[in-house]
Structure 1
């Protein structure tokens, strides 16, 4: 991990409300159970994702949904990176 100080003026926008995507991977069946989550902060969503993964015995990946130049995309916050079926 690398940590450095930053100038907070180096960004042009921020958003208080986030949209999250959670994918729960069932590796034995090569399937995923996918959800979109709104109306919660990242700590709430992480707690829910971890509890659901434990309850279902699945791995998970949690993303925040962002838009870049009008195109939607995902930034991974926690969980499995890459293709979980590889």
Structure 2
């Protein structure tokens, strides 16, 4: 982990409401259940993701959905990186 102090004026926008995307990876079927989550903060979403992963016995990946120049994309927040079936 690398930590450095930054000038908070180095960004041009911020958004208070986030859209999250949660993937739950089932290694036995080599498939994923995918959910979109809104109306919650990251702590609430993380608690739900961890509880569901434990309940289903699956691994997970949690992303926040962002838009860059009008194109949607995902930024990983926690969980499995890359292809979990590789």
With the shorter chain as reference, the TM-score category is: over 0.9
- For 1:77 and 1:28, locate their aligned partners in 2 and report how far apart those are by CA, in whole Å: 24
- For 1:22 and 1:16, locate their aligned partners in 2 and report how far apart those are by CA, in whole Å: 19
> What is the root-mean-square deviation of aligned Cα atoms in Å?
0.3
Runs of 4+ in 1 over 4 A off after TM superposition: none
TM-score (norm 1): 0.99
What CA deviation, in whole Å up to 9, does each residue of 1:29-83 have, x standing for no partner?
A: 0010000000000000000000000000000000000000110000000000000
- In structure 1, the residue matched to 2:83 is 83
TM-score (norm 2): 0.99
- In structure 1, the residue matched to 2:38 is 38
- In structure 2, the residue matched to 1:9 is 9
In structure 1, stretches of 5+ residues that fail to align are none
**Partner-residue secondary structure (3-state), 2:22:** strand
In structure 2, stretches of 5+ residues that fail to align are none
- For 1:68 and 1:45, locate their aligned partners in 2 and report how far apart those are by CA, in whole Å: 23
